[in-house]
Amino acid sequence: MDSNRKRAHIVAYYLSRFDKAALSNLGYKTDKEAFHKIAEALDVLPNYIKFRRDEFDVAHPHRKGWHKRPMTMSIINTINALQEIDEPSLRSIVLDIMVKEGEVEVSNDLESLLTIIPEEKRRNKRGPMFHGMLPEERLRKSL
């Protein structure tokens, strides 16, 4: 996973955890505006920001994201690293991330945070989906 995608994870976590307050605090009026501006700053697609935000919704009861989808290790590690950080501190990190690369020196704290998100290969990064049956039941049904 490249550096911009790791940074997108942190921003998406902030958007999920603080929801409408995050939009307001970052100066956006709508989710769509936020996705487009953040995507532009990080050189990723707007839907990448939206989908990552939705993946973090499992950890935040006020959101209705992908609660039935297994979390990847990168999502779990990001949650574990950021869940104790208060809103003003996390907002400061997000604002640092949003500055175009090269315009500002990246802080040591941000570099440390980026190391928590593992490099993952595309395949086999998720656990099995829960389809309403335990694995043994699926096995019996397929025989």
Calpha distance 62→57 (Å, rounded): 8
Query: Using one digit for the tens of pLDDT, what is the confidence trace for 104-143?
Result: 445 566 666 666 666 655 444 444 443 444 444 444 444 4
In the prediction, which pLDDT does 92 show?
92
pLDDT band at residue 87, thresholds of 50, 70 and 90? Answer: very high
- Cα four-point dihedral sign 21, 103, 41, 80: negative
pLDDT band at residue 2, thresholds of 50, 70 and 90? Answer: confident
Q: Give the least confident one: 48-57, 60-69, 77-86.
A: 60-69
Q: Judge whether 67 and 43 are in contact, CB under 8 Å.
A: no
Query: Using one digit for the tens of pLDDT, what is the confidence trace for 18-44?
Result: 999 999 999 999 999 999 999 999 999
